[in-house]
Amino acid sequence: MKNSLKIFAILILSAVMISFTESRNITGKVSDDQGKALAGVSVSVKGSANGTITDFNGNYKITVKDQDKVLVFSLIGYQSLEKNIGDKSIINVTMSPEIVLMEDLELKAYGNKKERASMPASYAAGKAYDQAYFQRYNNNFNTEGYASINENGYKNVKNNPLSTFSIDVDNASYTNIRRFINNGSLPPADAVRIEEMINYFKYDYPEPNGEHPFSVYTELAICPWNGKHQLLQVGLRGKSIDKTSLPPSNLVFLIDVSGSMEDPNKLPLLKSAFGLLVNELRPQDHVAIVVYAGAAGLVLESTPGNKKEVIMSAIDNLEAGGSTAGGAGLKLAYNEAEKNFVKGGNNRIILATDGDFNVGESSNGGMERLVEEKRELGVFITVLGFGMGNYKDDKMEIIADKGNGNYAYIDNLQEARRVLVREFGGTLFTIAKDVKFQLEFNPAKVESYRLIGYENRLLNDEDFNDDTKDAGEMGSGHMVTALYEIVRTGSGEKVPSIDPLKYQQSRSNVSEESYSDELLTIKVRYKKPDGSTSMLLEKPVRGNADIIEEASDNLRFAAAVIEFGMILRESEFKGTSTLDSAAKLARSAKGEDEDGYRSEMIRLIATAKDLRGLADNETR
């Protein structure tokens, strides 16, 4: 009888324990008070480490246990919410923008008198306030830095038959624009680099199958914002290499831990982002970690990728504080990369920072000379930007461009996953370097042209054949897209011109019979990753322009991105572009949109329209 009671008691206890630890899924959607989906919202079980974030459509799924009582929803710029779990399986949430009084903003920005006396002025001004809202009320405290952009104008083909530029696979501008709009403000004009917006998105280009490591795609359609013009799309698609086939990586994580990195969207997000990358490392990969604040230091010697716990422990222990000796950090990182150099491997520094270098070698020129010197040794650099308020986009773009690397802006964990997991090979492994475009237009067919974007990537025509001139890099599986707005010969439009040359004969008609049907010829020069002599690819372009409604999703969506960018820049070339027409064009070309990136841009356009409406009302 006693044994029976014991067995019964054990069964009861087991049932209670199973019930106590039973888990289930809760799903839901998070929206703002206007009904728009909120991506990147942190959803966590109160008092535990269990959490997730919402996707691009604002949806989430989280596994909870019976003892879990409350879900916490938080996003910078919005009031945090707590919701009782109870027996619910679906919990939808509406979050409201955080309302901050001016005196609270000033207190957060400056601290009280005692606090101001005990901290450096620059640190106190950037330490604890919510920049997204403070800059709405006092733009004087926004010290973000952007290089000025002078948009490309039209070139007369008879005088300028060649258009030469370096490729650009960076896309930091788009995510930075997304950050501005999601935080309730329109971006400054110089933050809008249209070529980076275009190149954020994937297009349906053919896989390469010849001797060259990329394919060339072209398409021509009537320009949607100026029906008298045509829009030419040129695309490259790099050869995809399976991650398991990539050569060993010798990586140095160069991490900014200065005081300006303390905000939640800086060092805390950075740690999570690097955690995603660490999970992708293989045993043959090695990682060292260098940090810099008031001084630079090595916190982890080169460590095999299968020792993930050791690497993550070093990352988790990082804390922010001090000024920013960025130049010293770069030098130490390069020394570490050279010491562990892998011949034939991927030798790369991954710099993560808000770009606010203010101690040591911090001038753009000094940084540029340093990374140019080191790239010749085979050590490249990838730059990941974080944060807002003191963000130095101009410095980071220069470092990546001159260091044979990529530049991405990380505004949330989903973007970190896209850059460091989904595009791991393309971000870290170069298949071609010094890639240059040169288009030669046929004056018998084209009167004038305008390259859209790439203002900071223009090259002299003679640089195309000069193998000593640096140009952009292309990674495994990467795509590069450029678009031209062209005016056909005989259109009757007034085009830029110069006086007739006195000492040179102007060209006679180029209408040799063999070329009479060609609009232009595309030439691409590139070097192998370890090569010093360039290779040449040529492709003539023929054909007529389709009406925009019959163009492919590739061209229509790229055109929508351009319209959006030109409106944000208040471009003189925007023609009849409107946010409504950009959204309509984007919706028509959304396609399958498996990852939701195109849908997200459509939502950003709608939010930008609301913000422009608010700005118009405020000026009345």
Reported as a single tens digit per residue, the pLDDT across 505-560 is: 655 454 455 567 899 999 999 999 888 899 999 999 998 999 999 999 999 999 99
pLDDT of amino acid 457: 93
Most confident of 24-28, 47-51, 414-418, 481-485: 481-485
Q: Sign (positive/negative) of CA torsion 287, 357, 453, 524?
A: negative
Check whether 198 has a pLDDT greater than 80.
Answer: yes
Residue 103 pLDDT level (bands cut at 50, 70, 90): very low
Which of the pair, 99 or 58, is modelled with greater confidence?
A: 58
Output the CA–CA distances (angstroms, integers) from residue 366 to 54, 328, 373, in the order listed: 41, 12, 11
pLDDT of amino acid 107: 38
**Which two structure tokens, joined as six digits, stand for 307?**
């020792």
Check whether 20 has a pLDDT greater than 50.
Answer: no
Residue 561 is which amino acid?
Answer: V
Check whether 120 has a pLDDT greater than 70.
Answer: no
Spatial CA neighbour of 389 closest among 485, 264, 498: 264
Q: What percent of the chain has pLDDT over 90?
A: 47
pLDDT of amino acid 9: 54
CATH of domain 155-241+431-492+512-611: 2.60.40.1230
pLDDT of amino acid 297: 87
Q: Burial of 248 by CB count in 10 Å (0-12 exposed, 13-18 middle, 19+ buried)?
A: middle
Mean pLDDT confidence for 584-611: 94
Q: Structural domain boundaries of the chain?
A: 23-95, 102-141, 155-241+431-492+512-611, 273-415
Residue 58 pLDDT level (bands cut at 50, 70, 90): confident
- Residues whose CB falls within 8 Å of the CB of residue 87, separated by 6 or more in sequence, listed in order: none
pLDDT of amino acid 400: 85
Q: What percent of the chain has pLDDT over 70?
A: 82
CA separation for the pair 404, 426 (Å, rounded): 13
User: In this structure, are residues 400 and 383 in contact, taking their beta carbons and an 8 Å threshold?
Assistant: yes
pLDDT of amino acid 436: 96
Residue 477 pLDDT level (bands cut at 50, 70, 90): confident
Spatial CA neighbour of 388 closest among 73, 69, 77: 77
Asked if 23-95 and 155-241+431-492+512-611 have one fold, the answer is yes
Most confident of 3-17, 408-422, 524-538: 524-538
Check whether 84 has a pLDDT greater than 80.
Answer: yes
Mean pLDDT confidence for 45-64: 81
- Residues whose CB falls within 8 Å of the CB of residue 414, separated by 6 or more in sequence, listed in order: 39, 40, 53, 55, 56
pLDDT of amino acid 118: 35
Spatial CA neighbour of 203 closest among 551, 472, 519, 565: 551
pLDDT of amino acid 96: 83
Residue 245 pLDDT level (bands cut at 50, 70, 90): confident
Residue 439 pLDDT level (bands cut at 50, 70, 90): very high
Average pLDDT, the chain: 83
Residue 309 pLDDT level (bands cut at 50, 70, 90): very high
User: Minimum mean pLDDT among 358-362, 375-379, 380-384, 523-527: which range?
Assistant: 358-362
pLDDT of amino acid 394: 82
User: Minimum mean pLDDT among 118-132, 197-211, 575-589: which range?
Assistant: 118-132
**Element spanning 297, H or E:** strand 296-304
Check whether 325 has a pLDDT greater than 60.
Answer: no
pLDDT of amino acid 363: 55
Mean pLDDT confidence for 383-408: 84
- Compute φ and ψ for 249, nearest 5 degrees: -110, 135
Most confident of 103-117, 300-314, 410-424: 300-314
pLDDT of amino acid 132: 37
User: In this structure, are residues 579 and 608 in contact, taking their beta carbons and an 8 Å threshold?
Assistant: yes
CA separation for the pair 115, 102 (Å, rounded): 19
Which of the pair, 322 or 227, is modelled with greater confidence?
A: 227
- Report pLDDT digits (tens) over 267-294: 889 998 999 889 889 999 999 999 987 6
User: Minimum mean pLDDT among 164-178, 187-201, 202-216, 345-359: which range?
Assistant: 345-359
Which of the pair, 52 or 321, is modelled with greater confidence?
A: 52
- 28: how many CB neighbours lie within 10 A of its CB? 20
First to last CA, the chain: 88
CATH of 273-415, one of 3.60.70.12, 3.40.50.410, 3.40.50.800, 3.40.640.10: 3.40.50.410
- Degrees, nearest 5: CA angle 68-71-75: 150
Please state the pTM of the whole predicted model. 0.75
User: In this structure, are residues 75 and 43 in contact, taking their beta carbons and an 8 Å threshold?
Assistant: no
**Which two structure tokens, joined as six digits, stand for 242?**
């399976």
CA separation for the pair 517, 514 (Å, rounded): 8
- Report pLDDT digits (tens) over 442-467: 999 999 999 999 999 999 999 999 99
pLDDT of amino acid 79: 82
CATH of domain 23-95: 2.60.40.1120
